[in-house]
Amino acid sequence: MATNDISQLDPKPVWQFFAGMTQVPRPSKKETRIQKHFCDLAEKHSLKYKHEPVGNIIVQVPASPGCEKAPITVLQGHLDMVCEKNRGTDHDFDNDPIRTVIDKDSESSDRIVRADGTTLGADNGMGVSMAFAVATSTDVKHGPLELLLTCDEEAGMTGAKALAPDSFKGKRLINLDAEEDDFIYIGCAGGCDSNLAWSLPTAALSGEKAVRVTVRGLRGGHSGGDIHEGRGNAIKLLTRVLRRAGDVRLIEFEGGSMRNAIPREAHAVVALSSNQIAALRDAASQVQAAGRAESFEKDLTIAVEDADAKSAASAADTTRWLTAMAALPDGVMGMHPKVPELVQTSNNNSTVHTERDGDRLRIHLGALTRSSSDTLIEAAKAQIAAVAALSGADISEGNQYPGWEPNPSSPLLKTVQSNYEKLFGDKPTVTAIHAGLECGIIGQRVGKMDMVSFGPTIRGAHSPDERVWIDSVGKSYRLLCAVLADLAAG
């Protein structure tokens, strides 16, 4: 076996499908090639399928002989992936295949698969691959299946939102987008985007010096699954540096790249008097030390270097904007009162982008708020809107999606639990997750569904640190096969 040939890992059918996915670019909203890839696979295996206009693919899988009368089970996953790469990594997500590496985890020494400087796409390529492995196997006993492969989950969940009651027939669904192999999820948070925009007049520099301040080296991660770890947010850390430096004039601010990823890097260009440079460098050093201590971000660096510029926003407008940035909530806003260790409400200030429009500097901020409580998500949105109003920002909201209400009495849950205990001699953890799964939207769009979610262990999703545990893939696939056989038996 070649050192990094993941197609030869066990279980081979799963890894072979995943290896195929790594060769096909699949950024969110640019999924034409991966959709064709799976339509071609369905035809190759003589499986009927429907390719919806929005991009979803629904594949019909006949039952194993003798299991035709079992109710339909839907296996669901999403085709797109988050595209993040390390600084200095030469990779074009629109055209290049993912370079996979078989490795050992630095902490546990367990065997893992990761990518070479980019996100891996195990989220949710592993779930899709397990579903297709089952669908094309002659060894797995199952009733009739429908594979629901949705599009654009990571950047808007537009595929799930476009589903209709007649998109598929099954009324029980296994979502394969979970990331802890000993957890079964029965609920998730809902979410909403807030988009803030400021427009600041600019004027020529009058003797000030332009400098660039860069924050990098943060872990980043999933803004739902990792938000409870208190990881550093590059945008917030950069804001702290600039506010400590005194009166500065904003020229440029760029940070983050994805609405659902904790920002790993950010930079700003500001103008300030020469006698403030030492204070700015001192602020950078202090915030760097604090960030490493507060968030265990051992690789965090904050650098100050010379830059060039001719005009900037005023010091007063910059202070007002930085004050608004400091006031915006970020991270965990509240824990669930009834579910230990579950985040109930959070906000991630995901992206900041600036652009010049004549003599004005336009600043755009994107935030993603999550909550399992409808009233608390509204309260969090109102808090963000209040900051916008006080600072003179325009605000718009969009991409709101519902949470998934837990059903502890689910018959499907009982089947998954009992098979887990038989296979592994232990009880799984049954809980809800703060990340957004498509189950809530699916239930809303197509009617009442009996749903659970499980999958292999994946860490560092939505960042170049993403990695999947090799043995965990086998564990989750064994569970899926056992559950389907049990359901087929009635």
Q: What is the pLDDT of residues 55-92, one digit of tens each?
A: 999 999 999 999 999 999 999 999 999 999 998 999 99
Joined together, the tokens standing for residue 485 give 């056989």
CA distance 26 to 23: 9
Query: Residue 87 has what pLDDT?
Result: 86
Question: pTM for the full model?
Answer: 0.89
End-to-end Cα distance, the chain: 41
Percent of the chain scored above 70 by pLDDT? 99
The amino acid that residue 2 corresponds to is: A
CA distance 77 to 17: 14
Per the CB < 8 A criterion, the answer to whether 144 and 61 are in contact is: yes
Joined together, the tokens standing for residue 382 give 């109102």
Backbone torsions φ then ψ of 464, nearest 5 degrees: -65, -5
Query: Residue 337 has what pLDDT?
Result: 92
Adjacency order of strands within the sheet including 450-453: 48-51, 57-61, 145-150, 73-78, 172-175, 450-453, 183-188, 429-433
Nearest Cα neighbor of 236 from 117, 365, 355 is 365
DSSP H or E stretch at residue 450:
strand 450-453
| 339: confidence class by pLDDT, cuts 50, 70, 90 | confident
Query: Residue 136 has what pLDDT?
Result: 98
| 3: confidence class by pLDDT, cuts 50, 70, 90 | low
Residue 405 is classified by DSSP as: -
Joined together, the tokens standing for residue 216 give 């990098």
Residue 78 is classified by DSSP as: E
Per the CB < 8 A criterion, the answer to whether 155 and 462 are in contact is: no
Q: Can you tell me the mean pLDDT for 272-296?
A: 96
Percent of the chain scored above 90 by pLDDT? 95
Joined together, the tokens standing for residue 439 give 């189950």
Instruction: Find the radius of gyration of the CA atoms of the chain.
Output: 24
pLDDT for 8-34, tens place per residue?
Answer: 999 999 999 999 999 999 999 999 999
pLDDT value at 1 more than 80 = no
Render the burial of 454-482: b for 16+ CB within 10 Å, e for the rest: bbbbbbbbbbbbbbbbbebbbbbbebbbb
Q: Interior CA angle at 153 toward 151 and 157, to 5°?
A: 95
Residue 33's Cα: distance from chain center in Å?
A: 21
pLDDT for 391-421, tens place per residue?
Answer: 999 999 999 999 999 999 999 999 999 999 9
| Strand, helix or coil for residue 281 | helix
| 490: confidence class by pLDDT, cuts 50, 70, 90 | confident
Per the CB < 8 A criterion, the answer to whether 142 and 74 are in contact is: no
Q: Which residues are catalytic?
A: 80, 153
pLDDT value at 2 more than 80 = no
Helix ranges (DSSP H) in 145-256: 158-161, 234-244
- Long-range pairs, 19-23, Cβ under 8 A, ≥24: 19/100, 21/121, 21/125, 21/128, 21/129, 22/97, 22/98, 22/100, 22/120, 22/121, 22/125, 23/97, 23/98
| Strand, helix or coil for residue 183 | strand
CA distance 236 to 201: 23
Per the CB < 8 A criterion, the answer to whether 450 and 412 are in contact is: yes
Joined together, the tokens standing for residue 433 give 């997750």
Backbone torsions φ then ψ of 252, nearest 5 degrees: -160, 145
Residue 467's Cα: distance from chain center in Å?
A: 14
Backbone torsions φ then ψ of 299, nearest 5 degrees: -100, 5
CA distance 469 to 61: 28
| 340: confidence class by pLDDT, cuts 50, 70, 90 | confident
CA distance 55 to 230: 35
Per the CB < 8 A criterion, the answer to whether 321 and 363 are in contact is: yes
Q: Judging by beta carbons within 10 Å of its beta carbon (0-12, 13-18, 19+), is residue 104 exposed, middle or buried?
A: exposed
Per the CB < 8 A criterion, the answer to whether 316 and 324 are in contact is: no
pLDDT value at 307 more than 90 = yes
